[in-house]
Amino acid sequence: MAFGLLSLVFLGLSLQTGNLGEACFQPLLLAGMVLPAGHLLVRLLGLFVLSWLLLLVFPASTGRRRARFFIFALGLSARICFLPLPASDDVHRYLWEGSLVAQGISPYAHPPDGRFDPAVEPFRKASDPHWMGINHRGMTAIYPPGLLVLLSGIARISRTPLAIKILAMSADMCVLWAIMQLLTVSAMPPFWALLYACNPLVLWAFTGEGHLDVLQIFLLSLALLAWQERRWGLMFVCLGLSIHVKYLPLILWPFFLTRENLSRAWIAPIIAGLPFLPFAGEGGIFQTISTFSTEFSFNGPLHSLLKIFTVSGPSATTACLLLGGAIWVAMFKKHLQSETAPRLSTLANDCLVVFGAVLFLSPTVHPWYVAWLFPFLFLRPTFAWFLLTGLAPLAAMATGNFRVTGVWNMPGWVLPAIWGPSTLFLFCDFIRSRSFSLVPKLNFVHTISVIIPVQNEAGNVSRCATACFAETVVQEVIVVDGGSTDDTVKKARAAGAVVVHCHRPWNRGGGRGGQIALGAASAGGDVLVVVHADTLISPGTFVHLLEFLNQHPEVSGGSIGSVFSGNGFHLRLLEWANRFRAICLGISFGDQVQFCRRSSHQARDLFPNMPLMEDVEFSLRVTQAGPSTHLFGCCQVEPRQWDIGSWNRTRMILSLVGRYLWRRLGGPVDTVAMYREYYRVPVEKQHGVSGGELT
């Protein structure tokens, strides 16, 4: 709550009267470099960082209902703060063309600059700020008919930019509600919605500037909800209406079709076609959109690159169109080959790839176009796409230049700065995904095997095993003993656990990694979960885990998440750092409760028999077997391994992890040497014999 209030304070300070209007688009001198619209950009980028910090520090123990209420309240407050920003010039066209439609005049046949056109001459007034604010006055309407009909109603009620911005803000809040509903039905943590509630691109483009693309985002979000609930009529109505904001959703229609809903597919074209009827006799409906698509270019990454080699803009456009068509065909072929009843996450992934390809291949990509991804992004959270939403506002430098100099351009470094980081992360994801097909088809999961590696844990093992058995979906608890000299084995058996003895020495396949690998080899559950003995599983954790995996068949494993039982600010920092690493890098530690499907482990040998860094290596192997996830869990962990020496201990652990990741790039890592360094074990100290037994 305190951090949320801090976010609102930041918003309020960033939008003080002195920074509103044209002032926020003024250049800013930063490190000797002039940034057009710099005052606005610094605040938007700062807000993006704040939104991620809020995601990291949001208490995992917060109930879903309380979390939804707080996120909704925070989102509404943030949008109210952005209302005073100056409206986009698109809003002036919205209002002017809406006024024409309200008077029975077609904007498709009469451009704003029709000097000798008697139909629009009464509307061409220098005293009219909306006519004066229209860009490209020689071009007719580009928006689909349904949107023009809606705009005519707005013009009749209130012909002001504030009316458009209130419409956009209302639709935006509906999107936030729909995203939280999608997260609920797909068993996703509600905290992801924070990245929409406080996303600077969304706040600036929709509430701040009044772009109505948010209506398309809402309709597609509603279509996804209807698809999940098998409300086919509502789904096709939403799909039909969605193309009246932008025509682009038309390419997604085939992905929503299933054998179950095919008989109602006629609804979408009927709904899509009806608003065209009042303008059918005028012609020219697609004239401007055709011109815009073929003759204009701005901020298109691949198109800009191709123009360097092909010289001709039309040639680059044709190449992008052909490549985009090939990607669409490939994705639709994959969609047809998927299971008979694809799940929501599968549909969202296909749509996300198609829309993502459109962004990379389009000649013109205004910043708010990136927001088209949001309905699908929260069902397949990907750091690369979220990063793009944070960097996309850099294109506002073109607007800043135009407002100050009258020239529409932006510095040459901005294009690679927007697209480069996201492209790098997407490329890494693509490299990993090439091997996903080697994993057997993932089926429904029903049972869990819990693996607890122990050594002298008599004080914890019984409590840990009992908490695991309290979950009805737990088939077995396997305690793998590494040579305890106390009552660990006795207490584990008393709690009902199966005990496996690992006699391998730590430097020859033993240690915690060897224990976990041995336990996994004897496990029979559909899902394997590694729980440390000092961890308490919170009620309902495993039931939710199975629900999530059944909703997301593509996920191979990941981490549940945990919180430290002790007090101290350094422990909270560690929790937030652990959450960041698991979410953004896909690397979790063993005390975050790691899990995987047994089928994925059998195909890829996910549990390495390493004495140290076995949890880091497991995380890396899981991401190579399929998409991984973090579930924002709140399992309680004792912070004993972090408390010895406090900050010095923490620095040593993080240093070892960093060195392991770096050395792993060059091949196998000597984790035996790392074990000796971590536990200060003399080189000559060895014990035990190889093998293991089940008791």
Q: How confident is the model at residue 618 (pLDDT cuts 50, 70, 90)?
A: very high
Task: Enter the tokens of residue 40.
Answer: 């606005």
Q: Which 3 state secondary structure label does DSSP give 594?
A: strand
CB distance 213 to 246 below 8 Å? yes
Q: Which of 415, 646, 610 is nearest to 514 (CA)?
A: 610
pLDDT tens sequence across 410-458: 888 899 999 999 999 888 877 776 555 544 556 789 999 999 999 888 8
Q: What residues contact residue 373 under an 8 Å CB cut-off, 6+ apart?
A: 352, 355, 356, 359, 385, 388, 389
Average pLDDT, the chain: 85
pLDDT for the residue 6: 54
Q: Which of 360, 371, 370, 367 is nearest to 398 (CA)?
A: 367
Q: How many angstroms separate the CA atoms of 97 and 91, rounded?
A: 10
Q: How many angstroms separate the CA atoms of 375 and 240, rounded?
A: 17
CB distance 522 to 601 below 8 Å? no
Q: How confident is the model at residue 624 (pLDDT cuts 50, 70, 90)?
A: confident
pLDDT for the residue 312: 72
Task: Enter the tokens of residue 418.
Answer: 């927007």
Q: Which residues pair with 479 in a beta bridge?
A: 452, 499
Other CB atoms within a 10 A radius of the CB of residue 179 amount to 29
Q: How many angstroms separate the CA atoms of 447 and 390, rounded?
A: 40
pLDDT for the residue 644: 53
Q: Which amino acid is at 411?
A: P
Q: Which 3 state secondary structure label does DSSP give 29?
A: strand
Q: In this structure, what is the dihedral angle of CA atoms 579, 580, 585, 590, given to the nearest 10 degrees? A: -30
Backbone angles phi, psi at 430, to 5 degrees: -65, -40
pLDDT for the residue 686: 46
pLDDT tens sequence across 352-372: 999 999 999 999 999 999 999
Q: Which 3 state secondary structure label does DSSP give 462?
A: helix
pLDDT for the residue 17: 39
pLDDT for the residue 34: 75
More confident residue, 83 or 283: 83
Indicate the domain borders of the chain.
Answer: 2-434, 438-694
More confident residue, 207 or 680: 207
Q: Which of 258, 309, 603, 184 is nearest to 435 (CA)?
A: 603
Segment holding 474, helix H or strand E: strand 474-481
DSSP secondary structure string for all residues of 41-87: HHHHHHHHHHHHHHHHHS-TTS-HHHHHHHHHHHHHHHHHHHTTSPP
| Inter-helix orientation angle 569-580/38-57, to 10° | 110
- Using CA atoms, how far residue 295 sits from 111, 114, 246, 292, 417, in Å, is 18, 21, 18, 6, 25
CB distance 584 to 429 below 8 Å? no
pLDDT for the residue 603: 86
Q: How many angstroms separate the CA atoms of 301 and 35, rounded?
A: 21
pLDDT for the residue 450: 95
pLDDT for the residue 682: 63
Q: Is the pLDDT confidence value at 349 over 50? A: yes
More confident residue, 222 or 292: 222
Q: How many angstroms separate the CA atoms of 624 and 605, rounded?
A: 11
Q: Which residues pair with 33 in a beta bridge?
A: 30
pLDDT tens sequence across 132-162: 888 888 888 899 999 999 999 998 998 899 9
Task: Enter the tokens of residue 587.
Answer: 């690397």
Q: Summarize the confidence of residues 613-627 as an average pLDDT.
A: 88
Q: How many angstroms separate the CA atoms of 29 and 350, rounded?
A: 42
More confident residue, 348 or 308: 348
pLDDT for the residue 10: 56
Segment holding 500, helix H or strand E: strand 498-502
pLDDT for the residue 23: 64
Task: Enter the tokens of residue 599.
Answer: 């089928």
Q: Which residues pair with 477 in a beta bridge?
A: 450
What's the half-sphere exposure (Cβ side, CA atoms, 13 Å) at 83? 16
pLDDT tens sequence across 275-319: 988 887 766 788 888 888 888 888 889 988 888 877 677 888 888
Reported pTM: 0.89
Q: Is the pLDDT confidence value at 3 over 60? A: no
Backbone angles phi, psi at 617, to 5 degrees: -65, -40
pLDDT tens sequence across 14-59: 554 344 555 677 777 766 677 787 778 888 888 898 888 888 888 8
Give the lowest-confidence range in 266-275, 286-295, 387-396. Answer: 286-295
Q: In this structure, what is the dihedral angle of CA atoms 560, 671, 425, 205, given to the nearest 10 degrees? A: 40
pLDDT for the residue 688: 39
Q: How many angstroms separate the CA atoms of 249 and 369, rounded?
A: 12
pLDDT for the residue 434: 59
Contacts 24+ apart (CB under 8 A), 675-682: 675/506, 675/507, 675/511, 675/611, 675/612, 678/612, 678/652
pLDDT for the residue 31: 66
Which CATH architecture best describes the domain 438-694?
Alpha-Beta Complex (3.90)
Q: How confident is the model at residue 529 (pLDDT cuts 50, 70, 90)?
A: very high
Q: How many angstroms separate the CA atoms of 211 and 215, rounded?
A: 9
pLDDT tens sequence across 321-333: 999 999 999 989 8
Give the lowest-confidence range in 201-205, 407-411, 514-518. Answer: 407-411
Burial 300-322 (b: 16+ CB within 10 A, else e): bbbbbebbeeeeebeebbebbee
Q: How confident is the model at residue 255 (pLDDT cuts 50, 70, 90)?
A: very high
Q: How confident is the model at residue 694 (pLDDT cuts 50, 70, 90)?
A: very low
pLDDT for the residue 11: 57
Q: Which 3 state secondary structure label does DSSP give 8?
A: helix
More confident residue, 304 or 337: 304
